[in-house]
């Protein structure tokens, strides 16, 4: 009404104008009208709309939550890469002066980023401290521990580290090079498994969202069958007929996305306490990752798109079946 | 305006709804289509608005073979034809104004032009004062007049009506028919399917009579 009021003063000889500009304007107007109309239709049945959105939200929460967990695991992985070090144990006969020279030799090797010498005495002190065995160790006739050099590699990938270990092991005065790659690799495999499981769940639950929206829109199409028949009879194109349903689907998707976002945020808050306590008990600091602005936008965009797509599939399938009597 | 050339229509491969139809309707003519129920009147109209396609022969409307239309062109073809249905097919969830505006909305007409044309069409059928009413608040005759307003709001060159007076009493039927005559007088080609023989006889227009899907009589107005 207000729109018409605004346009009143311009009335005159220019009324009959159906140029391309006017066509685009009316196309945009129809989009706005359908977006509003379909939103109002959803609000007219708040409970059933909410239930549909909740079904979408639940289907989205699982893959999104897993994705977040994976994001956290990847962070952990990065930290592990940094701590992927080798320990070169020197021969027992090597004294501290020679150990210093060997450390320099190790540091000069290609592929070595950093070295730290732990003399036999330092190693003993550390050992006593961490185990609380001062008395027992003090009774030993001599220091049984060799000096060692902790080496940080430039390239933390398992292959490079293994190659470096072989090279360092061949150096004079180095007795043995230890590296604990097995569990690092296990973790990598676990991360890859997690990625694949998440991807599978994303696909499955994405299809779940399509089905939920598709089914809801199918019912809406049935309810408005007469209207579809009439507008088809008087020359409506398929895009025109589809439009309100596509907007409904997009609204369902957006609503579901917002609910999923809320559930993820709540769930994150709920789990963060035990998770950081658990991490602290392992002497690590691990914070549950949150969606952030980019993640939230991606979640909402994906859910809206899925809703739209589900509606598109449902309407197109039924448009072919609806033939005016 | 309309030309049927050896048109036949079979349903399901066996039932022959229409057969060997040959006739022409000139531009600006008013024609009645009559026959017993099941004679094929509705099938014939459905062929013209391309809800069905002929099994045989071809149909020319305004010089175009409508069987050759691509399915994306069909909506634009239908916009040139006004159709009035026996059960008027109004949408009950919106006002009279918005029912009549529907064809213009589909075409994306500007609001001011839409409002001007809708009011003109409603004025023509004598229902301008009911534009805000819902269809359910109107009588059967008034609903049919809204259906006619919706069919003519787009100023179509061809107006088709399928039993437009089927549920109305004789006086209302005569009113509806005189509306069609008015539109015909300003140049619209009108084709009305009806089995109200008494009314048709009184109106004196060309009459096509169908019997079991065949054209058995083509009587010029007396």
What would the pLDDT profile of B9-62 be if each residue is shown by its tens digit?
888 877 888 888 999 999 999 999 998 888 888 889 999 999 888 999 999 998
Asked whether the beta carbons of residue B75 and residue A235 sit closer than 8 angstroms, the reply is yes
CATH number of A85-180: 3.30.70.3040
Torsion sign, CA atoms B35, B38, B40, B43: positive
Q: What is the pLDDT of residue A137?
A: 67
| pLDDT at position A313 over 90 | yes
Of residues A22, A229, A231, nearest to B102 (C-beta): A231
- Pick from A3-12, A104-113, A132-141, B22-31: least confident: A3-12
* Length, in residues, of chain A: 325
User: How many CA within 13 A on the CB side of residue A75?
Assistant: 13
Compute the nearest-CA separation of A324 from chain B (Å): 7
Q: What value does the mean pLDDT of chain A take?
A: 81
The residue of B61, B83, B89 whose CB has the most chain A CBs within 10 angstroms, and thus the best one to mutate to test that interface, is B89
Strand order in the sheet with A86-90: A112-118, A148-153, A86-90, A174-178
Contact A228, A241 (CB under 8 A): yes
Residue-range domain boundaries for chain A = 31-79+185-321, 85-180
Closest-CA residue of chain B to A33: B105
- Report the alpha-carbon distance of residue A153 to residue A101 in Å, rounded: 19
The ipTM (two decimal places) reads: 0.86
Give A299's pLDDT tier (boundaries 50, 70, 90): very high
As a dihedral over the C-alpha atoms of residue A324, residue B2, residue B8, residue B13, rounded to 10 degrees, the angle is -20
Strands (E), chain B: 2-11, 15-25, 30-35, 56-61, 64-65, 81-84, 158-162, 189-193, 206-211, 214-219
Q: What is the pLDDT of residue A8?
A: 39
Q: What is the pLDDT of residue A3?
A: 40
Q: What is the pLDDT of residue B152?
A: 92
Identify the segments of chain B with pLDDT beneath 70: 221-222
Asked whether the beta carbons of residue A4 and residue B49 sit closer than 8 angstroms, the reply is no
Between positions 225 and 254 of A, the ones with CB within 8 A of B are 226-227, 229-238, 240
Closest-CA residue of chain B to A28: B108
Give, as one character, the DSSP assignment of residue B99: H
Strand order in the sheet with B30-35: B81-84, B158-162, B189-193, B30-35, B206-211, B214-219
Strand A86-90 to strand A112-118: parallel, antiparallel, or no bridges (unpaired)? Answer: unpaired
| pLDDT at position A214 over 50 | yes
pLDDT tens digits, residue range A163-206? Answer: 888 888 887 788 888 876 666 777 777 777 888 888 898 899 99
- Report the alpha-carbon distance of residue A210 to residue B14 in Å, rounded: 41
- Report the alpha-carbon distance of residue B202 to residue A12 in Å, rounded: 44
Closest-CA residue of chain B to A21: B110
Of residues A27, A230, A235, nearest to B76 (C-beta): A235
| pLDDT at position A130 over 70 | no
Torsion sign, CA atoms B89, B91, B96, B102: negative
Q: Which helix (H) or strand (E) holds B129?
A: none
For residue A3, the chain B residues in CB contact (below 8 A) are: 111
Q: Which helix (H) or strand (E) holds B106?
A: helix B96-107
Residue-range domain boundaries for chain B = 26-54+70-219
For residue B83, the chain A residues in CB contact (below 8 A) are: 233-234
Q: Give the phi and the psi of residue B205 in degrees, each rounded to 5.
A: -130, 170
Asked whether the beta carbons of residue B75 and residue A236 sit closer than 8 angstroms, the reply is yes
Compute the nearest-CA separation of B161 from chain A (Å): 13
Q: Choose among A146, A141, A139, A47: nearest CA to A93.
A: A146
- Report the alpha-carbon distance of residue A192 to residue A54 in Å, rounded: 30
- CB of A2 within 8 Å of any CB in chain B? no
Contact B33, B160 (CB under 8 A): no
Q: For chain A, what percent of residues have pLDDT higher than 90?
A: 26
Homologous superfamily of B26-54+70-219 in CATH? P-loop containing nucleotide triphosphate hydrolases (3.40.50.300)
For residue B93, the chain A residues in CB contact (below 8 A) are: 227
Of residues B49, B105, B113, nearest to A16 (C-beta): B113
Q: Chain B residues with CB-CB distance to A under 8 A?
A: 49, 51, 72, 75-79, 83, 89, 91, 93, 102-103, 105-113, 115-116, 150
Q: What is the pLDDT of residue A76?
A: 55
Q: Is A11 left (phi over 0), alpha (psi -120 to 50) or beta?
A: beta
């Amino acid at each position: 009404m207000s729109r018409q009021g605004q346009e009143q003063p311009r009335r005159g000889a220019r009324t009959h104008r159906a140029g391309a500009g006017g066509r685009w304007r009316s196309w945009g107007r129809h989009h706005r009208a359908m977006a509003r109309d379909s939103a109002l239709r959803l609000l007219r049945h708040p409970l059933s709309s909410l239930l549909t959105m909740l079904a979408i939200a639940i289907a989205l929460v699982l893959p999104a939550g897993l994705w977040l967990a994976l994001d956290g695991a990847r962070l952990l992985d990065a930290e592990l890469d940094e701590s992927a070090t080798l320990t070169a144990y020197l021969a027992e006969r090597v004294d501290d002066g020679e150990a210093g020279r060997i450390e320099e030799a190790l540091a000069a090797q290609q592929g070595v980023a950093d070295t730290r010498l732990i003399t036999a005495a330092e190693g003993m002190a550390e050992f006593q401290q961490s185990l609380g065995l001062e008395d027992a160790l003090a009774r030993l006739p001599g220091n049984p521990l060799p000096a060692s050099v902790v080496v940080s590699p430039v390239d933390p990938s398992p292959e490079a580290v293994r190659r470096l270990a072989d090279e360092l092991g061949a150096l004079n005065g180095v007795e043995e090079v230890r590296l604990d790659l097995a569990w690092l690799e296990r973790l990598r495999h676990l991360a890859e498994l997690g990625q694949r499981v998440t991807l599978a769940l994303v696909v499955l639950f994405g299809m779940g969202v399509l089905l939920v929206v598709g089914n809801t829109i199918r019912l809406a199409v049935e309810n408005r069958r007469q209207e579809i028949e009439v507008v088809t009879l008087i020359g409506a194109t398929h895009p025109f007929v589809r439009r309100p349903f596509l907007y409904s689907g997009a609204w369902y998707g957006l609503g579901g996305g917002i609910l999923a976002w809320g559930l993820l945020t709540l769930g994150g808050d709920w789990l963060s306490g035990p998770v950081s306590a658990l991490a602290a008990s392992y002497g690590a600091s691990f914070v549950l990752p949150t969606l952030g602005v980019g993640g939230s936008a991606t979640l909402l965009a994906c859910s809206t798109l899925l809703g739209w797509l589900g509606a598109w599939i449902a309407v197109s399938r039924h448009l072919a079946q609806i033939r005016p009597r | 305006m309309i030309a049927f050339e050896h048109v036949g229509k079979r349903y399901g491969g066996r039932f022959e709804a229409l057969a060997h139809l040959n006739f022409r309707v000139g531009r600006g003519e008013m024609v009645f289509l009559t026959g017993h129920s099941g004679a094929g009147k509705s099938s014939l109209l459905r062929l013209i608005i391309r809800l069905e396609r002929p099994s045989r022969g071809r149909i020319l409307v305004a010089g175009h073979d409508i069987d050759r239309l691509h399915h994306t062109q069909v909506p634009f073809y239908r916009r040139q034809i006004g159709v009035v249905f026996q059960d008027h097919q109004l949408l009950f969830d919106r006002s009279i104004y918005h029912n009549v505006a529907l064809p213009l909305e589909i075409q994306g007409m500007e609001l001011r032009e839409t409002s001007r044309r809708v009011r003109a069409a409603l004025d023509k059928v004598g229902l301008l004062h009911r534009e805000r009413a819902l269809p359910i608040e109107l009588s059967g005759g008034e609903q049919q007049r809204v259906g006619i307003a919706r069919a003519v709001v787009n100023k179509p060159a061809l107006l088709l009506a399928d039993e437009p007076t089927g549920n109305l009493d004789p006086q209302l039927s005569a009113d509806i028919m005189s509306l069609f005559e008015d539109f015909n007088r300003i140049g619209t080609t009108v084709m009305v399917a009806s089995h109200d023989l008494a009314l048709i006889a009184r109106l004196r227009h060309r009459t096509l009579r169908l019997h079991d899907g065949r054209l058995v009589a083509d009587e010029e107005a007396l």
